[in-house]
Structure 1
Amino acid sequence: MGTHLAKRGISRRSFIKYSSAMASLLALPPGAVAGFTNQFLKAKRPSVIWLSFQECTGCTESLTRSHAPTIEDLIFDIVSLDYHHTLQAASGEAAESARQQAMSAAFGNYYLVVDGAVPAGDTAVCSTIAGRTNLDLLQETIQGAKAVIAIGSCAAFGGLPAAYPNPTGAAGVSELMDRGEIEKKPLINLPGCPPLPVAISSVLAHLVVFEKFPALDVLNRPLSIYATTVHDRCSRYHFYENEQFAERFDDEGARQGWCLYKLGCKGPTTHNACAVVKWNQGTSFPIEAGHPCIGCSEPDFWDKGGFYQTLDSAMLSYSPRNEAHETCIQEGAQLYEENCVYCHSFDPADFKTAPDKIAELLRSGDIRSHSRLQFSDDQLTILEKYLEESQ
């Protein structure tokens, strides 16, 4: 990998800068940057097959709109993108031959990227490639996949194609796996319409370096990107706290940058890092530009209330108890990922010690090797609950 990058004119300094950015996005501790960089340079380029189904190509556009050091260049250097019918030069029979060759050459070891929803059942013929249904191609290609990455809300949750009344019977990858229509494989969801470029690149970087997924939430989304809501990190949050709301897009409150909750902002129920990473080279994100969040990284975002309907009036069916529990588990998983996986198993189920005893030992301060870990009582409680859930 190091020689390949050098030939491409990418200096070690630029690469370390890139690695630092990736490590930060993946919520890795600062001390992990050197190891991340060295492992990156030694890693082999994995084969990637990218299938596009019912989609608008926005997810591919998102990736290619990233900025210096150009993430798309680095991603195409650290992975072998062997099939992508939008980006590849081949077409027709040559394109399908490239997919078959890639599957054969790396069977059992390639990563399958799925972009777009998949029509199924009697309506599977609504979308075809080379005379075959999307479902048929997915069923064939997933057999040799090491893992699947569903990019965009259409691939993750069905998105716009699956909105009511869903005339094509469109479904996301996880739903097709649950229904037994495609083989179950390790799955990571990167929802968004489109997802942030760094959501795509950081996951690919994590797979190359660690050969495993980052910590995921209950919807198989990376915690480093989707752990907290847009609302929690919004630049207008203090206006929400002060109950200063824009009532119309052209009123004085809107001109002063007040909270857009009453204009239908879905930020409080939407998990994404838009407010931190932003778009267009870190320039802005929808709320900062004056438009409410539409909740595009959540399941059924097209059907859960209108764009300009408040969360109150839409009467969304959220259970505070379940949501609080899920948030606790997600935060516990992130604590474990950031502090424990470098010495212990990536799978917390491998621990022989009971979760309550682990928390008790950490509270006691008797383990010298763990003295650097400064957990609060609340964090230890969260970690304990996560370990209990995982065992």
Structure 2
Amino acid sequence: MSTGIKNLVRTLDSVDFLKMDRRTFMKALGAMGAATFLGTYKSDIVSALDFAETKLVWLHGSECTGCSESVLNAGNPDLVQALQKLNVNLVFHETICAQQGIWNDGKLVNNAELNSEVLLEDTYKQGGYILVVEGSIPNGPDGSGRYLVIGNKTFKESLAEAAKNAVAIVAVGACAAYGGITSADSEVAKDTDYRGVAFAKEDPTKGMLKELGIDKPVINIPGCPAHPDWVLLTLGAVILGKIKIPNDLDTLLDNYGRPKVFYPPDHTVHDNCPRRGYYDRGELDEEVGGPGCLWKLGCKAPYAHADCGIRRWNGSVSMCTQAGGPCIACVEPNFPDGSRPLYVEAEDKGVLLGANIDTVSKVAVGAAAVAAGVHAVRRMGKGE
């Protein structure tokens, strides 16, 4: 954690978050991990919740369950601790819930205790729940949604039922946010027609809710997978009433529905990459396993808008580039097509002091020149 962030955390430690304005509260979320935030404001959270229970419905579409695994890998707090502190009733999560079927001992079961379909139907009727969607939604073939059928019901239909009475909708992971890997260009892409909840890649007019005629705001938490902090802190802010939906979303979210505090429009992974110094000096690795900048190995950090370099992963100890893996910009709406080929240098994209990155790598750049030109990196993928 940088000195500036440590100082901010120390300052916020003595402030009652219930009295914070929204701007200060969001700064706190950006500076703290879920463990620090929940620990620091434990008593305030209890006061804010006043023991009111929040229902959470977590549905899975077309995905690998990687985002659930990421959240389950959160160590302090773990998912159970976070749910307990935030007084959340996880009504349904297919991966975590015990298997429930229509039949029990050969007899038809029609109660919410043993039949998850009945449980969900009752929950939808009651309303007042937060809906989390993980995974994309196939619209194909021909608008039927039949490429994903669960219990003789298309996931497209399931989403429609769940979204109508939700008080908030959060799309977790690249697939739920924008279609992700499932929507990558291919020979069958038009037939399967995978969509995100509110976006289809960069297009907000093709999101599945638009297709269903449902007008509800969505908070996108992209990533492949999404960071546990991004998920838990966003849900925490909604549950604690610090994010008012829909009133606050225009100022809190970027053009792609992402919370700016975690996906800063003016900041990229490249800015705080542990290997940034090697880039500035033009020391670029050409083989996996070296200590230098990973640009020539296909790193897309200069146009990935996320706080990975500050927040880090795996208990805040590492991140992709630190561990030797090039950033693949999995938080961007055009992922994976905008990042492919993943481990190949993006030709003619890197510019430093007006020189092609290959030229820079062969020339020692003076400290003064670096200071003057280090932020002249041309933004890629969006024509910036």
- TM-score, length-scaled by structure 1: 0.69
Work out which of the residue numbers 139, 144, 148 in structure 1 matches 2:160: 139
Secondary structure in structure 2 of the residue aligned to 1:103? helix
Secondary structure in structure 1 of the residue aligned to 2:211? coil
Secondary structure in structure 1 of the residue aligned to 2:145? helix
Residues 76 and 124 from structure 1, CA distance in 2 versus in 1: closer, same or farther, beyond 3 angstroms?
Answer: farther
Work out which of the residue numbers 278, 283, 286 in structure 2 matches 1:239: 278
Give the aligned partner of residue 228 of structure 2.
Answer: 197
Work out which of the residue numbers 129, 135, 145 in structure 2 matches 1:110: 129
Residues 133 and 77 from structure 1, CA distance in 2 versus in 1: closer, same or farther, beyond 3 angstroms?
Answer: farther
Work out which of the residue numbers 139, 147, 161 in structure 1 matches 2:182: 161
The answer (yes or no) to whether the contact 2:70–2:227 under 8 Å persists in 1 is yes
Work out which of the residue numbers 40, 57, 60 in structure 2 matches 1:52: 60
- In 2: Cα distance, 1:43 partner to 1:191 partner: 30
Question: In proportion to residue count, which structure has more helix?
Answer: 1
Give the aligned partner of residue 370 of structure 1.
Answer: none
**Superposition RMSD on alpha carbons, in Å?**
3.0
1:53 maps to a residue whose letter is: G
Secondary structure in structure 1 of the residue aligned to 2:347? helix
1:267 maps to a residue whose letter is: A
Residues 61 and 113 from structure 1, CA distance in 2 versus in 1: closer, same or farther, beyond 3 angstroms?
Answer: same
- In 2: Cα distance, 1:48 partner to 1:69 partner: 18
Say whether 1:290 aligns with 2:324.
yes
Post-superposition Cα deviations, 1:173-228, rounded to whole Å, max 9, x if no partner, equal 11325743241212100000110000010001101112525721111111121112
Tell me how far 1:233 sits from its aligned partner: 1.2
Secondary structure in structure 1 of the residue aligned to 2:57? strand
Give the aligned partner of residue 25 of structure 1.
Answer: 29
- In 1: Cα distance, 2:85 partner to 2:47 partner: 15
Tell me how far 1:65 sits from its aligned partner: 0.4
Tell me how far 1:117 sits from its aligned partner: 0.4
Q: How does 1:303-342 map to 2 (within 5 A)?
A: 303-304=337-338, 305-312=340-347, 317-320=381-384
- In 2: Cα distance, 1:205 partner to 1:23 partner: 14
Which range is displaced more, 110-119 or 299-308? 299-308
The answer (yes or no) to whether the contact 1:26–1:224 under 8 Å persists in 2 is yes
Which range is displaced more, 309-318 or 266-275? 309-318
Which range is displaced more, 227-236 or 308-317? 308-317
- In 1: Cα distance, 2:99 partner to 2:48 partner: 30
Tell me how far 1:69 sits from its aligned partner: 3.2
- In 2: Cα distance, 1:21 partner to 1:87 partner: 31
Which range is displaced more, 222-231 or 185-194? 222-231
Residues 37 and 48 from structure 1, CA distance in 2 versus in 1: closer, same or farther, beyond 3 angstroms?
Answer: closer
Q: How does 1:272-291 map to 2 (within 5 A)?
A: 272-291=306-325
Give the aligned partner of residue 334 of structure 2.
Answer: 300
- In 1: Cα distance, 2:213 partner to 2:222 partner: 20
Residues 283 and 317 from structure 1, CA distance in 2 versus in 1: closer, same or farther, beyond 3 angstroms?
Answer: closer
The answer (yes or no) to whether the contact 2:27–2:261 under 8 Å persists in 1 is no
Give the aligned partner of residue 263 of structure 2.
Answer: 226
Say whether 1:207 aligns with 2:241.
no
Secondary structure in structure 1 of the residue aligned to 2:146? helix
Tell me how far 1:24 sits from its aligned partner: 3.1
2:176 maps to a residue whose letter is: A
2:383 maps to a residue whose letter is: S
Post-superposition Cα deviations, 1:262-312, rounded to whole Å, max 9, x if no partner, equal 111011111122222222212211100111001111112111221112233
Residues 21 and 142 from structure 1, CA distance in 2 versus in 1: closer, same or farther, beyond 3 angstroms?
Answer: closer
- In 2: Cα distance, 1:306 partner to 1:262 partner: 12
Say whether 1:148 aligns with 2:185.
no
Secondary structure in structure 2 of the residue aligned to 1:124? coil
Q: Which ranges of structure 2 fall in alignment gaps of 5 or more residues?
A: 1-12, 17-23, 103-114, 200-206, 351-379
Give the aligned partner of residue 95 of structure 2.
Answer: 86
Secondary structure in structure 1 of the residue aligned to 2:234? helix
2:28 maps to a residue whose letter is: S
The answer (yes or no) to whether the contact 2:220–2:258 under 8 Å persists in 1 is yes
1:132 maps to a residue whose letter is: K
How many residues are paired up? 295
Give the aligned partner of residue 362 of structure 2.
Answer: none
Which range is displaced more, 119-128 or 48-57? 119-128
- In 2: Cα distance, 1:239 partner to 1:42 partner: 51
Q: Which ranges of structure 1 fall in alignment gaps of 5 or more residues?
A: 1-12, 321-391
